[in-house]
Chains A and B, each alone.
Chain A
Amino acid sequence: MTWALIIGGIVVVLLLAVVYLFNRVVRLRNEVDTGWSNIDVQLKRRNDLIPNLVEVVKGYAAHERGVFEEVTAARASMAQAATPAQAGAADAQLGQALGRLFAVAEAYPDLKASQNFLQLQSDLTDTEDKIAAARRYYNASVLAYNNAIQTFPTLLFAGLFGFGAREFFAADEGERAPVAVSFPTQA
């Protein structure tokens, strides 16, 4: 009788511990999902800005066809990216293409003076900053979540409940730097 009570007690305690850990992992996973949707919002916003930007630049520099194609291709691969890692790679590619587009724009003083262009450029810089901010939060929450499911004791049942590791959203900061160069957004 006593043994039954002790074993019963241990089972109850273990169950409570599993429930607690399970809830904690779910909370962390939800944070990862929130973080990803934050990035997604900004990526979509940038995707909407790009056609306008290309149109404006075309108005002044229609013959720079190569750079437009590059931007359009990068934008398309961004739209097709299915996983955070793919999106990160496409993001880096798009950043490079946009950097080249702005480098081309440097050669056209009329374009650089255009109000429309300046507004688009400032919006784009803002979006890039927000993507970077959202990425910091997303990667931090991925780290917390992955650490939780890959360490003891959560490790024991993470696989059982289908908690898999998540990917980081990686993009090389250095490659993307040219986008913001030489155009201060502030007056």
Chain B
Amino acid sequence: MTLQQQIRSNRLRTAFVVLAFAVLIVVFAAASAVFVGRPGAIGLLAFGLAYGLFAWWNAGRMIGGLTHAAPLQKSDDPELYRLIENVSIAAGLPATPPIYLVDDQAPNAFAAGSRPSTIYVGVTSGLRRLMPARELEAVLAHEISHIRNKDVRLMTLAAVLVGVIAMISDFAFRMAFFGGRGSRDRNPVQLIAAVVALILAPVAAMMLQMALSRRREFLADASAAAILNDPEAMALALRRLQLDTSEIAYADRATAHLFIESPTRAVKGPGAFLSGLFQTHPPLEDRIAALEEAGGFRLEPLPGAA
């Protein structure tokens, strides 16, 4: 798959996610008309579509809030900015995206934003501390590749639109099974909530699955290696992520797919109901192996690995 093909496929997937969200909101509003009447349903529809537009406009900031990322000034860390400027130039991006810092010891990085002017690269303080410049550059190149491939727009949109559907479904699921004082006195509201959860959850999962391409991480790794002309740096960076076992604090299922490495081994909290349905990232070993094959080198085997 070439870069152009990936960009085309991402455009298609983006259109699909937006369409699916719109259809889902319309169906949901129509179904709820039975309970809240026609004016209520129209209100719900208007709210849903307004939310969609709002999300499209503010997606970057919303994800910044979810992940607790704060803008980093160039004067705060000139060296990091130099690296990202060089990578952006080498990738041929028209402008260097700003860096946001997530105060977290777990090394990880992501890119978010729905429009070119709002796109940024998020880096955890753990990554900044742990990685030598060569590997840090590779991680930044990986994120810049996601931006260039138009992965970021799709992933961001999936995070905020699918996120709200997953939220409704989680909420309904809890109401259905944990809402009452005991499982014996279930009322009709709980039953309806259960049905809503059971219908919405797979739909949300399907949308996310549609949006996610397992190829995207391999492709971003390969693009990063090509941008830097250094596949080994990318592989070393992934190996370092693999060796680190700490987990980032503010990542849930809605944002998990944005990160360079799956931010949680097992997603906890409200998203747990769905997390088993699919993996957001291909295993790091596979990604390292792909780089080793492309670059014609081998990293030393992991200590303790048989």
Contact = CB atoms under 8 A, between A and B. Distances in A.
A185 to B, nearest CB: 7
Given A136-B229, A186-B79, A186-B133, A35 B85 contact: no
A38 B86 contact: no
A136 B90 CA distance: 6
Interface in B56-89: 79, 82, 85-87, 89
Given A185-B79, A186-B79, A186-B133, A141 B92 contact: yes
A31 B79 CA distance: 28
B194 interface: no
B86 A137 contact: no
Interface in B221-280: 226-227, 229
Given A136-B227, A136-B229, A129 B92 contact: no
B236 to A, nearest CB: 19
Contact of B90 (A31, A137, A186): A137
B42 interface: no
Given A35-B92, A136-B229, A141-B92, A129 B133 contact: no
A186 to B, nearest CB: 5
Interface of A (DSSP majority class): helix
B79 A137 contact: no
B89 A38 contact: yes
A134 B227 CA distance: 10
A140 to B, nearest CB: 8
Interface string A79-102: 000000000000000000000000
B91 interface: yes
B40 to A, nearest CB: 50
Contact of B92 (A126, A130, A137): A137
A34 B86 CA distance: 16
Nearest to A135: B90
Contacts of B92: 31, 34-35, 38, 137, 141
Interface in B79-115: 79, 82, 85-87, 89-92, 94
Contacts of B227: 136
B133 A133 contact: no
Contact of A130 (B79, B85, B91, B229): B85
Nearest to A129: B86
Contacts of B133: 186
A140 B227 CA distance: 9
Given A31-B92, A141-B92, A186-B133, A133 B79 contact: no
B57 to A, nearest CB: 28
A134 B82 contact: no
Nearest to B94: A34
B116 to A, nearest CB: 15
Contacts of B226: 140
Interface string A142-186: 000000000000000000000000000000000000000000011
A36 to B, nearest CB: 11
Contacts of A185: 79, 82
Contacts of A129: 82, 86
A129 B78 CA distance: 14
Contacts of B91: 137
Contact of A134 (B79, B89, B94, B229): B89
A133 B90 contact: yes
Interface in A19-44: 31, 34-35, 38, 42
A145 B94 CA distance: 19
B86 to A, nearest CB: 4
B274 to A, nearest CB: 40
Contacts of A34: 92, 94
25 contacts: A34-B92, A34-B94, A38-B89, A38-B92, A42-B89, A126-B82, A129-B82, A129-B86, A130-B89, A132-B86, A133-B86, A133-B87, A133-B90, A134-B89, A134-B90, A136-B227, A136-B229, A137-B89, A137-B90, A137-B91, A137-B92, A140-B226, A141-B92, A185-B82, A186-B79
- The 6 closest A-B CB pairs, nearest first, are A133-B90, A133-B89, A133-B86, A137-B92, A136-B90, A134-B89
Interface of B: 79, 82, 85-87, 89-92, 94, 133, 226-227, 229
